[in-house]
Structure formats: structure tokens, C-alpha cells
Amino acid sequence: MEQQSNFMANLTLGYGTFLLLWGVAISVLSSSDSITSYFPSFLGVPLMLSGFMTLRMPEKRKLWMHVAATFGLLCAIGGTRFFMVMGDGINYASSSMLMLLVTGVAYTVVCVRSFIAARKAREAAQV
């Protein structure tokens, strides 16, 4: 059996860690009392968990990476709120929304491309 790459699992773990740290940093820097300033962190924790579980349970890779892709899509969707507040200028909240939009779209695209490549590799192995 060929060894699978851990690139996507490590990317997911790294992206989740980045989101967790971003949410905490923005909340501390802005001295925010609002729980919504931690929104990136709330999305980062399940991403970190998905990446970790993919590394720990390679037989469940497909499941955990689909969970991660779902949370990546939620990041992108959550970031679309940036378009509603962009007229107010760039502040801590709008920068978090823009970051979620850009990184969420990029991560979701990478996930979809990875899923397509995995399917093609699986089909080629069956022939």
C-alpha cells in the first residue's frame, strides 16, 4: 500500500492554529469584550482537531478532511460579512472578516483540488 501524504493534514493543523491565535490576538489587541472577536478561534479549534485526527487516524482521513473542508467553507462564508462593513474602513473586526474570507476561500480551493487529486489517484490505482 502506498504511503499517503500528510500535507493536507499538516496544512489543516497549521491553518487551525493560525485561526486560533488570530482570534486571541485580535481580541487582546482590541481589548474587545465581545465574544464575536473570538470567531476565528471558534473555527480554528475544529480545524486543528480535524488535522490532528487525520494524522492520528489515517484510515479515517477522508472523513476528517471533509469535516475540515466544511469548516474552511464556513470561514469563507463568515468572511463575506466584510462586504457589509467595508465602508466603515479597516479596523480589527473588518480585518478579521477579510482574513477569514481570503484564507477560507484559499483553504477550501486547496481542499477541493486535493479531493479531486485523491479521487483520480484512487481511480488510477484500480485500473
Cell numbers placing 34: 465581545
Distances in Å between the Cα of 109 and the Cα atoms of 28, 35, 97, 115 are 31, 29, 18, 10
Q: In this structure, is residue 13 part of a structural domain?
A: yes
Distances in Å between the Cα of 111 and the Cα atoms of 9, 102, 115 are 10, 14, 6
pLDDT at position 66 is: 97
Q: In this structure, is residue 16 part of a structural domain?
A: yes
CB 92 within 8 A of CB 32: yes
pLDDT at position 1 is: 35
pLDDT at position 42 is: 97
Q: In this structure, is residue 52 part of a structural domain?
A: yes
Return the number of other C-beta atoms located less than 10 Å from residue 8's C-beta: 25
Q: In this structure, is residue 1 part of a structural domain?
A: no
pLDDT at position 4 is: 67
What is the rounded distance in angstroms from the CA atom of residue 83 to the CA atom of residue 125? 44
Overall domain count for the chain: 1
Q: In this structure, is residue 107 part of a structural domain?
A: yes
pLDDT at position 2 is: 46
Q: In this structure, is residue 111 part of a structural domain?
A: yes
Distances in Å between the Cα of 87 and the Cα atoms of 40, 70, 82 are 22, 29, 9
Q: What is the pTM assigned to this prediction?
A: 0.92
Q: In this structure, is residue 96 part of a structural domain?
A: yes
Residue 14 is part of which domain span?
7-126
CB 40 within 8 A of CB 26: yes
Cell numbers placing 94: 473588518
Q: In this structure, is residue 92 part of a structural domain?
A: yes
Half-sphere exposure of 28 toward its Cβ, with a 13 Å CA cutoff?
7
For the chain, which residues score pLDDT lower than 50?
Answer: 1-2
